[in-house]
Structure 1
Amino acid sequence: MGILFFKPIPRPALWGHTLVKDYFGYQDFPDGIGQSWSFSAQEKDSTVCLTEPYQGMTLRNLWIHHQELFGNQEGEFPVIISLVGPEDDLSLQVHPDAKHAQKVGFSSGKNEAWYFIEANDDANIVYGHHAKDEKELRKYIQEDRWDELIKHLDVHPGDFVYLPAGLLHALKKGSIVYEIQQATDITYRFYDYHRKDAAGNERELHLEQAIDCLSYDPKEMENHIHPVVSETAHMKQTVFISNDSFTVTKLEIDGQDTYQSGHYQLATIVKGQGKVDNQEVKVGDNFLIPVNCEIKVDGQMTIMMTTK
């Protein structure tokens, strides 16, 4: 079995316009798209396979009925993979851990990670806060001292940032990101800069739910990533993270080489172009590498891959 291509799903957002469409060559996308789902097996929104013999089948159906592609995994499909291009700052958010998610009917929490494909020279993200406990947090909020509350982290092209459940975080404009998140589709909006819509209304917040999930551990507000790098003749492999939620790998291809993994891989071309198994690929292409499938690669390109 060779690689299987998937059609991305456009996701409208108030902070989107044409950046995702233009950067990744998704010319069939309308304007106003903030991100695209490269891989999703959500019940109401699953990416569709473009390759025979599974053409027209959703990733969700493949996961349920063709586990031979994935190595006989159990449970729900574990992740959503997105390409994100914010053209305005996103609201500040918190994701629940397993304990909090189970309270509202989900089986697992929501850890997340970002790989920065592009970032402006002065790009940063919201990453944590300064409150030592809930009492102090509420004092910041009551006094509208949001700028003093929020911590920031500078980011650069090629950076990898892990976002554990409970971390206050937000993407800001000026970057293009490959995003990995656990498939628990729940997010609590903590703060939105008092922005108003055309009718003069601020966006809905989920402040109490967010506070209920929020971590105050300063160690969880430090981005400790220890990449593991290996190289062959024309390929550099970087494993950024491997935990119970997901394993994320970057392949940098410079010529002809081969790649094989003992796990299935959800692959997205984030830079360059070339060939995979003699098929032309370019930025924005998304394909599943089935379990134990060896592929031939050729070209000048960067491939981001996720598995569990």
Structure 2
Amino acid sequence: MKHPLFLEPIFKERIWGGTALRDRFGYSIPSEKTGECWAVSAHANGSSTIQNGRLAGKTLDQVWKECPEFFGFPQRSVFPLLVKVLDANMDLSVQVHPDDDYAIVHENGDLGKTECWYIIDCKEGAELILGHHAGTKEEFKQLIESGDWNGLLRRINIKPGDFFYVPSGTLHALCEGTLVLEIQQNSDTTYRVYDYERCNDHGQKRDLHIEKAMEVVNIPHTDSEPIPSVKEIKDAVITSYVQSDYFSVYKWNVSGKPVFPSHQTYLLGSVVEGSGIIENNGVQYECKKGSHFILPAHFGEFSIEGTCELIIAHPS
């Protein structure tokens, strides 16, 4: 019988990280500058470990290769998605990611990186950078060379519960005081354009990648703002955020014991608030705030009993 896979996250220290992953979710973090929780990951730079069942102790990368029936016998060679929780205790670098075509040629065959953000929490007055004001590549380059970041960068005010879709080629950055669930293609390729002249603990500035960024950035910037749709079922409200070429993302607000139909694809789930009990064929599985899991393809009808908020995703 197939069962959910609950995953042990991997944590990454970052120059801009803090302690929100511990304070909000109770994670055991490696330091006071922990920026990233790789919650559902089969990437070579960090693969999540299965916590439960007969596959306990294996990495998600291993399970992807050894148990294709769990995922509906996928044809892809690599697990397509990566789910993170990001603690932007300080501003992240202004950056851009390549698309698949560019990454295959210039990044050793890796995937490109289209991503999306669900704002779990943020300080009052928080903002993020999404896009730019340059009309041409020449203007983009001139604004960078002159250091006119206020003239170049497009800033947006944000609040908890906001959702943003960030296609490859979009100049972007999370800013100080933001806690975000990120769902993205399974890629770790980032081209930094600006890093606030910061130095690491060794007094060194992080590398910038202006040349590659110039080759992949969308000029002029075009908005990609999906329009969410809301559907109510018994004991739950389902918000559909995006159905893209790479992933579909939803929010499930559960209050009671809603029943969900069987699904053909596997689902990635992250509990951002509350707790619940997943039940399938009479077997129960506890999920709580900070839990991350995968429901297998053709899992069958299941219920979730409790009061909780989950972000659900599946590959396209």
**So what's the TM-score if we normalise by structure 2?**
0.92
Match status 1:180 vs 2:183: yes
What's the counterpart of residue 59 of structure 2?
A: 58
User: Aligned partner of 1:152: which letter?
Assistant: R
Cα distance change on mapping 1:133 and 1:69 into 2, 3 Å: same
Which of 266, 270, 290 in structure 2 is aligned with 1:284?
290
Identify which range, 243-252 or 259-268, moves more after superposition: 259-268
CA contact (8 A) 1:78 1:182 kept: yes
Map 1:1-308 onto structure 2 (within 5 A).
1-27=2-28, 29-75=30-76, 76-104=78-106, 105-197=108-200, 200-219=203-222, 222-260=223-261, 261-277=263-279, 278-293=284-299, 294-308=301-315
Identify which range, 85-94 or 261-270, moves more after superposition: 261-270
> What stretches of structure 2 of length at least 5 have no aligned partner?
none
**What's the CA shift for 1:30?**
3.7
**What's the CA shift for 1:29?**
4.3
**What's the CA shift for 1:205?**
0.7
Identify which range, 298-307 or 22-31, moves more after superposition: 22-31
**Deviations along 1:106-143, whole A, 9 cap, x unmatched?**
25321010011112231111111111111111211222
**What's the CA shift for 1:44?**
4.3
Q: CA–CA distance in 2 between the matches of 1:199 and 1:55? A: 38
* Secondary structure of the structure 2 residue equivalent to 1:60: helix
Task: Report how many aligned residue pairs link the two structures.
Answer: 306
**RMSD, matched Cα:** 1.5
Q: CA–CA distance in 1 between the matches of 2:266 and 2:201? A: 46
User: Aligned partner of 1:279: which letter?
Assistant: Y
Q: CA–CA distance in 1 between the matches of 2:275 and 2:201? A: 42
**What's the CA shift for 1:218?**
3.2
Identify which range, 43-52 or 110-119, moves more after superposition: 43-52
**What's the CA shift for 1:184?**
2.3
Cα distance change on mapping 1:264 and 1:198 into 2, 3 Å: closer
Q: CA–CA distance in 2 between the matches of 1:38 and 1:153? A: 27
CA contact (8 A) 2:61 2:79 kept: yes
Q: CA–CA distance in 2 between the matches of 1:161 and 1:264? A: 23
**Deviations along 1:167-213, whole A, 9 cap, x unmatched?**
10000112211101111221101101122345554321111111111
**What's the CA shift for 1:226?**
1.6
Q: CA–CA distance in 2 between the matches of 1:211 and 1:173? A: 25
**What's the CA shift for 1:3?**
1.4
* Secondary structure of the structure 2 residue equivalent to 1:34: strand
* Secondary structure of the structure 2 residue equivalent to 1:205: coil
* % same residue: 33
Cα distance change on mapping 1:8 and 1:199 into 2, 3 Å: closer
**Deviations along 1:8-61, whole A, 9 cap, x unmatched?**
111111111211122111035443211101111113421111111111111111
**Deviations along 1:133-170, whole A, 9 cap, x unmatched?**
11111211222111111111222111110111111000
User: Aligned partner of 1:7: which letter?
Assistant: E
> What stretches of structure 1 of length at least 5 have no aligned partner?
none
* Secondary structure of the structure 2 residue equivalent to 1:291: coil
Identify which range, 185-194 or 288-297, moves more after superposition: 288-297
